[in-house]
Structure 1
Amino acid sequence: MKKKHFRDEEDASIDMTPMLDIVFIMLIFFIVTTSFVKEEGLEVNRPDSSANSNSKAKTVSIWIDERGMIYMNNRLIDSERVTANIQSFLAENNTDSAVIKAHKKTKHGTVVKVLDQAAEAGLHKLSVVVDN
């Protein structure tokens, strides 16, 4: 007579240890390989709520049209002479701010170039306005 071995209750369990090991190794890999880089951008200085908005000081007004032509105080100027024109304006007027108004089709490079030249001329408070 043959003996039959029957198990009434089978253990149906899965060993989770290898899977947890792999998850922790992957976690360590992603933490180590991630680089934390501070991205650079434009610094925006917002005015204080207590700032006097009715100041009588003259500001430099620069307009850039859709073709990239630059106008300073309603006068056409050369794109390479923005710094010199601002410095001559500053010699006559005591101000440290400028408003740069650009057409919406103006190339960003032109606006940034004008911003850089205005900062180089000594203006510290620069505002950019986009015309719709």
Structure 2
Amino acid sequence: MKFRRHNPPPEDTGIDLAPMLDFVMNLLIFFIIAAAFVQESGIRVNKPSAKTATQEDKTSIFVAISAQNEIWINREHVDIRRLRTEIERMRRDKPKAVVVIQADQDARAGLMVEAMDQARLAGVPDVSIAATPR
């Protein structure tokens, strides 16, 4: 006499979400780390607006000039006499970087011109002034 075992059909348990959750967590970690490498000047500047303002796509070195005529680069207060050296140091890390000057609309125009001059003396051919689009 033969005994037959009755094996019930396997239950459909659905889609395993663990690999998808691993992927999403990896993406989240990637974007958090990538956001840490975005370097801004470190202070909030009330930029003037311009109709011709465009988004800069290249890697940039941000130099901020506050309304109190203080110069900031990489969240560090920098004297105008040290600005050229700082830009040269940063250009060694990013040789194709352009300099973007984020001057507050109440900052002294002469200081902005001096900062542009120091950037050009540091060997940066492209110096831009940040503005908000109208």
CA 1:102–1:54: 2 relative to 1, 3 Å: closer
- Show the counterpart of 2:26: none
- Show the counterpart of 1:119: 120
4+ long deviations beyond 2 Å: none
- Show the counterpart of 2:102: 101
SS in 1 for 2:130: strand
SS in 1 for 2:118: helix
The one-letter code matched in structure 2 to 1:66 is A
Q: Which has the higher contact order (CA 8 A, sep 6+)?
A: 2
**Alignment length (residue pairs):** 81
The alignment's TM-score, normalised by the length of structure 2, stands at: 0.53
Determine the C-alpha separation between the residues in 2 that align with 1:65 and 1:54. 24
- Contact 1:61–1:98 under 8 Å retained in 2: yes
User: What is the RMSD of the two structures over their aligned residues, measured on CA atoms?
Assistant: 2.7
Correspondence list, 1:10-89, <5 A = 54-55=57-58, 58-89=59-90
- Higher-Rg member (1/2): 1
Cα-to-partner distance string for 1:95-125 (whole Å, 9 max, x where unaligned): 2411101111101100000000000001111
**Where does structure 2 lack aligned partners over 5 or more consecutive residues?**
1-51
Determine the C-alpha separation between the residues in 2 that align with 1:127 and 1:69. 18
Identical positions, percent: 22
**Where does structure 1 lack aligned partners over 5 or more consecutive residues?**
1-45, 47-52
- Show the counterpart of 2:30: none
The alignment's TM-score, normalised by the length of structure 1, stands at: 0.54
- Contact 1:60–1:97 under 8 Å retained in 2: yes
Give the deviation of 1:74 after TM superposition.
Answer: 2.2
Give the deviation of 1:76 after TM superposition.
Answer: 1.3
Determine the C-alpha separation between the residues in 1 that align with 2:71 and 2:113. 13
